[in-house]
Amino acid sequence: MTAAREDIPIAADEDVVRVRQIVRSFAQRAKLSLVDQTKLVTATSELARNTLTYGGGGAAVVELLGEGRRQGVRASFQDSGPGIPDTALALTDGWTSGRGMGLGLSGARRLVDEFDLDTEVGRGTTVTVVKWSR
């Protein structure tokens, strides 16, 4: 596996596991520290599960980034679900529209270096995160 980009459909629980494994291997290739690897893997695990649970399934794209001397991993999760009506509320700790802990989206944002949430009600949601090596 040497591709710098991997597309993973998310349609079942097993796919969340697969996303985690692929992100972990990309994080290792980007030479992220063990802590950063774990943080990125955990964040993508949350986002992949959100895509599945709230977006009704979708796809993930994991990419290896190189910018000068630092390397990073970008993961983006796209669904065509109902979208998020109130992003500020969705990013509040402890708030959930489902049955989770309400920490997935807000927690994921704290675990990564760059976080981008693009959503429109009725069109779907795309969340992109980046973690850089230090």
Partner 1 sequence: MTIDTGRSDNLADLLRTNTAALTARWVEVAAATLRGRLTTAELERELAELYNALLAGVDSGSRDVAAEPYAELRALLTDMSRRRARTGFSPSETAVTVYALKQAVFELIDNDAVEGGLREVVAFSRLLDAFGLQTFESYAKAREEVIDEQAEQLLELTTPVVKLWDGVLAVPLVGTLDSARTQVVMEKLLEALVTTGAAHAIIDITGVLAVDTQVAQHLLKTVMAARLMGAECTISGIRPHIAQTIVALGIEFGDITTKSSLADALRHALRRSGVEFTAAERRR
Residues forming contacts to partner 1 in the complex (CB under 8 A) are: 13, 17, 20, 24, 34-35, 37-39, 41-42, 45-46, 49, 93, 100-101, 103-104, 106-108, 110-111
Shortest gap between Cβ of 123 and partner 1 (angstroms)?
A: 26
Nearer to partner 1, 39 or 74 (CB): 39
Least CB distance to partner 1 at residue 68 (A): 26
> 3-state SS of the chain?
CCCCEEEEEECCHHHHHHHHHHHHHHHHHCCCCHHHHHHHHHHHHHHHHHHHHCCCCEEEEEEEEEECCEEEEEEEEEECCCCCCCHHHHCCCCCCCCCCCCCHHHHHHHHCCEEEEEEECCCEEEEEEEEECC
Smallest distance, Å, CB 15 to partner 1?
12
